[in-house]
Protein backbone atom coordinates (compact mmCIF):
# COMPACT_ATOMS: atom_id res chain seq x y z
CA UNK A 1 0.00 0.00 0.00
CA UNK A 2 1.27 3.40 -0.89
CA UNK A 3 1.93 5.31 2.28
CA UNK A 4 -0.20 8.40 2.81
CA UNK A 5 0.65 11.01 5.36
CA UNK A 6 -1.97 12.38 7.71
CA UNK A 7 -2.43 16.12 7.61
CA UNK A 8 -4.74 18.66 9.21
CA UNK A 9 -7.96 20.03 7.76
CA UNK A 10 -6.35 23.24 6.51
CA UNK A 11 -3.66 21.31 4.69
CA UNK A 12 -6.20 18.94 3.19
CA UNK A 13 -8.18 21.91 1.87
CA UNK A 14 -5.01 23.49 0.50
CA UNK A 15 -4.08 20.27 -1.29
CA UNK A 16 -7.56 20.01 -2.75
CA UNK A 17 -7.43 23.62 -3.94
CA UNK A 18 -4.06 22.99 -5.57
CA UNK A 19 -5.40 20.02 -7.50
CA UNK A 20 -8.69 21.75 -8.32
CA UNK A 21 -7.76 22.69 -11.90
CA UNK A 22 -6.78 19.21 -12.88
CA UNK A 23 -8.76 17.61 -15.71
CA UNK A 24 -9.24 14.29 -14.00
CA UNK A 25 -10.98 12.65 -16.96
CA UNK A 26 -8.02 13.40 -19.20
CA UNK A 27 -5.61 12.10 -16.55
CA UNK A 28 -7.57 8.86 -16.11
CA UNK A 29 -7.75 8.29 -19.87
CA UNK A 30 -4.05 9.02 -20.35
CA UNK A 31 -3.15 6.72 -17.46
CA UNK A 32 -5.52 4.00 -18.64
CA UNK A 33 -6.47 3.31 -15.05
CA UNK A 34 -8.82 4.70 -12.41
CA UNK A 35 -7.32 5.26 -8.98
CA UNK A 36 -9.95 4.49 -6.37
CA UNK A 37 -9.56 4.87 -2.61
CA UNK A 38 -11.25 2.20 -0.51
CA UNK A 39 -11.10 0.91 3.07
CA UNK A 40 -8.34 -1.22 4.52
CA UNK A 41 -10.75 -4.14 4.35
CA UNK A 42 -14.43 -4.36 5.30
CA UNK A 43 -16.28 -7.55 4.38
CA UNK A 44 -18.99 -6.96 1.82
CA UNK A 45 -17.94 -3.38 1.08
CA UNK A 46 -14.28 -3.49 0.02
CA UNK A 47 -11.87 -6.35 0.60
CA UNK A 48 -9.60 -8.52 -1.55
CA UNK A 49 -10.77 -12.09 -2.21
CA UNK A 50 -8.68 -15.27 -2.10
CA UNK A 51 -7.14 -14.33 -5.46
CA UNK A 52 -6.32 -10.83 -4.20
CA UNK A 53 -9.01 -9.30 -6.43
CA UNK A 54 -10.92 -6.50 -4.71
CA UNK A 55 -14.62 -7.20 -4.24
CA UNK A 56 -17.54 -5.51 -2.53
CA UNK A 57 -20.32 -2.94 -2.65
CA UNK A 58 -17.98 0.09 -2.79
CA UNK A 59 -15.58 -1.71 -5.12
CA UNK A 60 -18.48 -2.32 -7.54
CA UNK A 61 -18.98 1.44 -7.85
CA UNK A 62 -15.30 1.94 -8.73
CA UNK A 63 -15.52 -0.79 -11.36
CA UNK A 64 -18.68 0.77 -12.83
CA UNK A 65 -16.91 4.13 -13.09
CA UNK A 66 -13.88 2.53 -14.77
CA UNK A 67 -16.16 0.74 -17.22
CA UNK A 68 -17.95 3.99 -18.07
CA UNK A 69 -14.74 5.94 -18.65
CA UNK A 70 -12.23 3.33 -19.83
CA UNK A 71 -14.45 0.53 -21.14
CA UNK A 72 -13.00 -2.04 -18.72
CA UNK A 73 -14.17 -2.54 -15.10
CA UNK A 74 -10.87 -4.16 -14.16
CA UNK A 75 -8.79 -1.09 -14.97
CA UNK A 76 -8.86 0.13 -11.37
CA UNK A 77 -5.95 0.56 -8.96
CA UNK A 78 -7.26 0.32 -5.40
CA UNK A 79 -5.58 2.29 -2.63
CA UNK A 80 -6.30 1.32 0.95
CA UNK A 81 -7.09 4.29 3.17
CA UNK A 82 -7.88 4.66 6.86
CA UNK A 83 -10.19 7.17 8.49
CA UNK A 84 -7.12 9.33 9.01
CA UNK A 85 -5.52 9.08 5.56
CA UNK A 86 -8.49 9.02 3.15
CA UNK A 87 -8.95 12.78 2.73
CA UNK A 88 -5.28 13.51 2.19
CA UNK A 89 -5.15 10.79 -0.46
CA UNK A 90 -8.03 12.42 -2.37
CA UNK A 91 -6.91 16.03 -1.88
CA UNK A 92 -3.35 15.34 -3.04
CA UNK A 93 -4.45 13.58 -6.24
CA UNK A 94 -3.18 10.20 -5.10
CA UNK A 95 -6.65 8.87 -5.92
CA UNK A 96 -9.31 10.06 -8.40
CA UNK A 97 -12.33 9.12 -6.28
CA UNK A 98 -12.92 7.93 -2.72
CA UNK A 99 -15.48 5.15 -2.22
CA UNK A 100 -15.07 4.15 1.38
CA UNK A 101 -17.96 4.30 3.86
CA UNK A 102 -17.57 8.06 4.17
CA UNK A 103 -20.33 10.19 5.68
CA UNK A 104 -21.46 13.28 3.75
CA UNK A 105 -21.17 16.24 6.13
CA UNK A 106 -21.16 20.02 5.77
CA UNK A 107 -17.54 20.46 6.87
CA UNK A 108 -16.20 17.76 4.58
CA UNK A 109 -18.07 19.24 1.63
CA UNK A 110 -17.39 22.93 2.30
CA UNK A 111 -14.31 23.19 4.51
CA UNK A 112 -12.26 20.29 3.14
CA UNK A 113 -13.26 21.17 -0.45
CA UNK A 114 -14.73 17.84 -1.50
CA UNK A 115 -17.79 17.07 -3.61
CA UNK A 116 -20.01 14.18 -2.57
CA UNK A 117 -21.54 12.84 -5.74
CA UNK A 118 -24.50 11.13 -4.08
CA UNK A 119 -25.49 8.64 -1.41
CA UNK A 120 -24.89 4.97 -2.11
CA UNK A 121 -25.85 3.76 1.39
CA UNK A 122 -28.07 5.40 4.02
CA UNK A 123 -26.57 4.28 7.31
CA UNK A 124 -26.54 5.14 11.02
CA UNK A 125 -24.16 4.58 13.91
CA UNK A 126 -24.77 1.64 16.22
CA UNK A 127 -23.12 -0.56 18.84
CA UNK A 128 -22.12 -4.24 18.97
CA UNK A 129 -21.63 -6.04 22.28
CA UNK A 130 -20.98 -9.60 23.42
CA UNK A 131 -24.19 -11.28 24.57
CA UNK A 132 -22.27 -12.20 27.71
CA UNK A 133 -22.18 -8.49 28.65
CA UNK A 134 -25.89 -8.76 29.35
CA UNK A 135 -27.02 -5.42 27.92
CA UNK A 136 -30.06 -4.92 25.72
CA UNK A 137 -29.72 -1.19 25.10
CA UNK A 138 -26.94 1.32 24.54
CA UNK A 139 -28.45 3.32 27.38
CA UNK A 140 -27.22 0.57 29.73
CA UNK A 141 -23.56 1.22 28.84
CA UNK A 142 -22.73 3.62 31.69
CA UNK A 143 -19.00 3.31 32.44
CA UNK A 144 -18.33 1.06 29.41
CA UNK A 145 -15.13 1.03 27.39
CA UNK A 146 -15.88 1.73 23.71
CA UNK A 147 -13.66 0.89 20.73
CA UNK A 148 -13.96 3.71 18.19
CA UNK A 149 -12.17 4.59 14.96
CA UNK A 150 -10.34 7.90 15.07
CA UNK A 151 -10.82 10.52 12.36
CA UNK A 152 -14.48 9.63 11.84
CA UNK A 153 -17.83 11.24 12.56
CA UNK A 154 -18.52 8.48 15.06
CA UNK A 155 -16.31 10.11 17.70
CA UNK A 156 -18.56 13.16 18.04
CA UNK A 157 -21.75 11.12 17.74
CA UNK A 158 -20.56 8.89 20.57
CA UNK A 159 -19.78 11.83 22.84
CA UNK A 160 -23.16 13.43 22.06
CA UNK A 161 -25.10 10.23 22.78
CA UNK A 162 -23.50 9.58 26.16
CA UNK A 163 -23.80 13.24 27.15
CA UNK A 164 -27.47 13.37 26.17
CA UNK A 165 -28.18 10.26 28.22
CA UNK A 166 -26.07 11.46 31.18
CA UNK A 167 -23.87 8.37 31.20
CA UNK A 168 -20.10 8.01 30.97
CA UNK A 169 -17.74 5.95 28.83
CA UNK A 170 -14.03 5.43 28.23
CA UNK A 171 -12.95 5.58 24.55
CA UNK A 172 -10.49 3.01 23.23
CA UNK A 173 -9.13 4.63 20.03
CA UNK A 174 -8.35 2.42 17.07
CA UNK A 175 -7.40 3.24 13.48
CA UNK A 176 -8.84 0.51 11.26
CA UNK A 177 -11.77 -1.89 11.31
CA UNK A 178 -9.37 -4.82 11.49
CA UNK A 179 -7.78 -3.35 14.60
CA UNK A 180 -11.22 -2.71 16.08
CA UNK A 181 -12.23 -6.30 15.51
CA UNK A 182 -9.04 -7.55 17.12
CA UNK A 183 -9.33 -5.28 20.14
CA UNK A 184 -13.04 -5.98 20.62
CA UNK A 185 -12.62 -9.75 20.46
CA UNK A 186 -9.62 -9.54 22.80
CA UNK A 187 -11.78 -7.77 25.37
CA UNK A 188 -9.92 -4.46 25.19
CA UNK A 189 -13.32 -2.73 25.05
CA UNK A 190 -16.84 -3.68 26.14
CA UNK A 191 -18.47 -2.56 22.90
CA UNK A 192 -17.50 -1.40 19.41
CA UNK A 193 -19.28 1.45 17.68
CA UNK A 194 -19.32 2.38 13.99
CA UNK A 195 -21.86 2.48 11.16
CA UNK A 196 -24.47 -0.26 11.57
CA UNK A 197 -23.56 -1.71 8.17
CA UNK A 198 -19.94 -1.93 9.31
CA UNK A 199 -20.99 -3.70 12.49
CA UNK A 200 -22.94 -6.28 10.47
CA UNK A 201 -19.98 -6.74 8.13
CA UNK A 202 -17.59 -7.14 11.06
CA UNK A 203 -19.83 -9.59 12.93
CA UNK A 204 -20.10 -11.75 9.82
CA UNK A 205 -16.37 -12.46 10.05
CA UNK A 206 -16.49 -13.61 13.70
CA UNK A 207 -16.04 -17.30 14.48
CA UNK A 208 -19.33 -17.27 16.40
CA UNK A 209 -21.41 -14.32 15.12
CA UNK A 210 -24.44 -15.31 17.20
CA UNK A 211 -22.47 -14.65 20.40
CA UNK A 212 -22.64 -10.93 19.64
CA UNK A 213 -25.62 -8.59 19.45
CA UNK A 214 -26.07 -5.30 17.61
CA UNK A 215 -27.93 -3.05 20.05
CA UNK A 216 -31.17 -1.45 18.80
CA UNK A 217 -30.17 2.23 19.07
CA UNK A 218 -29.15 4.05 15.89
CA UNK A 219 -27.63 7.28 17.21
CA UNK A 220 -26.92 9.26 14.03
CA UNK A 221 -27.65 9.79 10.36
CA UNK A 222 -24.77 8.55 8.21
CA UNK A 223 -25.39 9.17 4.51
CA UNK A 224 -22.44 7.37 2.91
CA UNK A 225 -21.26 8.07 -0.60
CA UNK A 226 -18.35 8.46 -3.02
CA UNK A 227 -16.58 11.83 -3.27
CA UNK A 228 -14.21 13.74 -5.53
CA UNK A 229 -12.26 16.99 -5.22
CA UNK A 230 -13.83 20.41 -5.65
CA UNK A 231 -12.93 22.29 -8.83
CA UNK A 232 -13.40 19.62 -11.49
CA UNK A 233 -17.12 19.69 -12.19
CA UNK A 234 -16.83 17.59 -15.35
CA UNK A 235 -15.28 14.73 -13.39
CA UNK A 236 -17.83 15.21 -10.64
CA UNK A 237 -20.64 14.90 -13.20
CA UNK A 238 -19.23 11.63 -14.55
CA UNK A 239 -18.84 10.19 -11.05
CA UNK A 240 -22.34 11.36 -10.02
CA UNK A 241 -24.20 10.12 -13.08
CA UNK A 242 -22.45 6.77 -13.00
CA UNK A 243 -23.93 6.20 -9.53
CA UNK A 244 -27.28 7.54 -10.78
CA UNK A 245 -27.17 5.14 -13.73
CA UNK A 246 -26.89 2.15 -11.38
CA UNK A 247 -29.80 3.41 -9.27
CA UNK A 248 -31.97 4.30 -12.26
CA UNK A 249 -31.29 0.95 -13.91
CA UNK A 250 -32.86 -0.84 -10.94
CA UNK A 251 -35.90 1.43 -11.01
CA UNK A 252 -36.41 0.89 -14.75
CA UNK A 253 -35.87 -2.87 -14.53
CA UNK A 254 -32.59 -2.88 -16.46
CA UNK A 255 -30.58 -5.87 -15.22
CA UNK A 256 -27.52 -7.90 -16.09
CA UNK A 257 -29.86 -10.44 -17.66
CA UNK A 258 -31.74 -8.14 -20.02
CA UNK A 259 -29.41 -5.20 -20.71
CA UNK A 260 -28.05 -6.70 -23.94
CA UNK A 261 -31.57 -7.04 -25.33
CA UNK A 262 -32.76 -3.64 -24.06
CA UNK A 263 -29.75 -1.88 -25.59
CA UNK A 264 -29.89 -3.61 -28.96
CA UNK A 265 -32.55 -1.19 -30.26
CA UNK A 266 -34.74 1.61 -28.87
CA UNK A 267 -37.52 0.36 -26.58
CA UNK A 268 -40.92 1.90 -25.85
CA UNK A 269 -39.46 3.55 -22.72
CA UNK A 270 -37.55 6.74 -23.66
CA UNK A 271 -35.90 6.91 -20.21
CA UNK A 272 -34.34 3.47 -20.75
CA UNK A 273 -33.31 4.49 -24.25
CA UNK A 274 -31.55 7.64 -23.03
CA UNK A 275 -29.90 5.67 -20.19
CA UNK A 276 -28.56 2.99 -22.52
CA UNK A 277 -27.58 5.37 -25.31
CA UNK A 278 -29.99 4.23 -28.02
CA UNK A 279 -31.61 7.67 -27.98
CA UNK A 280 -30.31 11.19 -27.26
CA UNK A 281 -26.80 12.57 -26.68
CA UNK A 282 -26.30 12.21 -22.91
CA UNK A 283 -22.93 10.50 -23.29
CA UNK A 284 -21.54 13.32 -25.41
CA UNK A 285 -22.63 15.83 -22.76
CA UNK A 286 -20.34 14.03 -20.29
CA UNK A 287 -17.45 13.79 -22.76
CA UNK A 288 -18.05 10.06 -23.11
CA UNK A 289 -19.56 7.83 -25.79
CA UNK A 290 -23.20 6.76 -25.99
CA UNK A 291 -22.73 3.44 -24.17
CA UNK A 292 -21.03 4.71 -21.00
CA UNK A 293 -23.97 3.86 -18.74
CA UNK A 294 -24.55 0.52 -20.40
CA UNK A 295 -20.97 -0.47 -19.61
CA UNK A 296 -21.28 0.80 -16.03
CA UNK A 297 -24.38 -1.35 -15.45
CA UNK A 298 -22.86 -4.38 -17.15
CA UNK A 299 -19.81 -4.18 -14.87
CA UNK A 300 -21.68 -5.57 -11.88
CA UNK A 301 -25.39 -5.11 -12.44
CA UNK A 302 -27.78 -2.42 -11.30
CA UNK A 303 -27.78 -1.00 -7.75
CA UNK A 304 -30.09 -3.71 -6.45
CA UNK A 305 -28.00 -6.49 -7.96
CA UNK A 306 -24.83 -5.03 -6.46
CA UNK A 307 -26.51 -4.68 -3.05
CA UNK A 308 -27.87 -8.23 -2.95
CA UNK A 309 -24.64 -9.80 -4.21
CA UNK A 310 -22.35 -8.12 -1.71
CA UNK A 311 -24.27 -7.17 1.44
CA UNK A 312 -27.87 -8.36 0.99
CA UNK A 313 -29.92 -10.68 3.15
CA UNK A 314 -28.65 -13.81 1.40
CA UNK A 315 -25.01 -12.94 2.17
CA UNK A 316 -23.15 -13.38 5.48
CA UNK A 317 -23.53 -9.60 5.99
CA UNK A 318 -27.32 -10.03 5.88
CA UNK A 319 -28.46 -6.44 5.42
CA UNK A 320 -32.03 -5.67 4.36
CA UNK A 321 -32.68 -2.85 1.92
CA UNK A 322 -34.47 -0.67 4.50
CA UNK A 323 -33.84 3.00 3.71
CA UNK A 324 -31.77 1.87 0.73
CA UNK A 325 -34.80 0.53 -1.13
CA UNK A 326 -36.03 2.39 -4.19
CA UNK A 327 -38.40 5.30 -3.50
CA UNK A 328 -41.10 3.24 -5.19
CA UNK A 329 -40.59 0.58 -2.49
CA UNK A 330 -40.67 2.88 0.54
CA UNK A 331 -36.94 3.69 0.60
CA UNK A 332 -34.90 6.84 -0.02
CA UNK A 333 -33.14 5.73 -3.20
CA UNK A 334 -33.89 8.09 -6.05
CA UNK A 335 -32.10 9.13 -9.24
CA UNK A 336 -32.79 12.41 -11.03
CA UNK A 337 -34.28 11.88 -14.49
CA UNK A 338 -32.10 10.89 -17.43
CA UNK A 339 -33.25 13.55 -19.84
Sequence-distant (6+) residues with CB within 8 A of 167 are 139, 141, 142, 143
Instruction: Taking residues 127-145, report their average pLDDT.
Output: 97
pLDDT tens-digit profile of 160-209? Answer: 999 999 999 999 999 888 899 999 999 999 999 999 999 999 999 999 99
CATH 3.40.50.150 assigned to domain 22-120+225-329? The reply is no
Can you give the pLDDT at residue 10?
A: 56
Can you give the pLDDT at residue 178?
A: 86
In the 8-state DSSP scheme, what is residue 326?
B
- Is 190 within 8 Å of 146 (Cβ atoms)? yes
Q: Burial code of 99-137, b = ≥16 C-beta within 10 A, e = fewer?
A: bbbbbbbeebeeebbbbbbbbbbbbbbbbbbeeeeebee
What confidence tier does 6 reach under pLDDT thresholds 50, 70, 90? very low
> What does each C-alpha distance from 297 to 45, 269, 282, 293 come to in angstroms?
18, 17, 16, 6
Dihedral over Cα of 36, 41, 42, 46: its sign: positive
pLDDT exceeds cutoff 60 at 320: yes
pLDDT tens-digit profile of 20-50? Answer: 545 999 999 999 999 999 999 999 999 999 9
Instruction: Taking residues 250-277, report their average pLDDT.
Output: 97
Give 114's strand partners: 229
Secondary structure class of 151 (helix, strand, coil): coil
In the 8-state DSSP scheme, what is residue 239?
H
Give 1's strand partners: none
Cα separation of 150 and 134, whole Å? Answer: 27
Fold match, 22-120+225-329 / 124-221: yes
Can you give the pLDDT at residue 302?
A: 98
Q: What is the greatest pairwise CA distance in the chain?
A: 64
Cα separation of 121 and 103, whole Å? Answer: 9
CATH topology of domain 124-221: D-Maltodextrin-Binding Protein; domain 2 (3.40.190)
pLDDT exceeds cutoff 50 at 4: no
Cα separation of 196 and 206, whole Å? Answer: 16
Cα separation of 105 and 128, whole Å? Answer: 24
What are the sequence ranges of the domains in the chain?
A: 22-120+225-329, 124-221
Cα separation of 50 and 54, whole Å? Answer: 9
pLDDT tens-digit profile of 43-67? Answer: 999 999 999 999 999 999 999 999 9
Which strand (E) or helix (H) includes residue 145? strand 144-149
Amino acid sequence: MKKTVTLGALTVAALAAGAAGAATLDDVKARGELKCGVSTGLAGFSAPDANNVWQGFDVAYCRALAAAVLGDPMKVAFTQTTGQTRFTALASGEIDVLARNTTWTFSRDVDLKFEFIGVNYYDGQGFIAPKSLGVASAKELDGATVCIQTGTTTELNLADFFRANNISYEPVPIETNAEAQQQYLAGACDVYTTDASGLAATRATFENPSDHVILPEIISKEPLGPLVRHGDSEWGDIARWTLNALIAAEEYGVTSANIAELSSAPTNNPEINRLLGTEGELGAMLGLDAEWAKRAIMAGGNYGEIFEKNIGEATPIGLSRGLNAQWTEGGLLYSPPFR
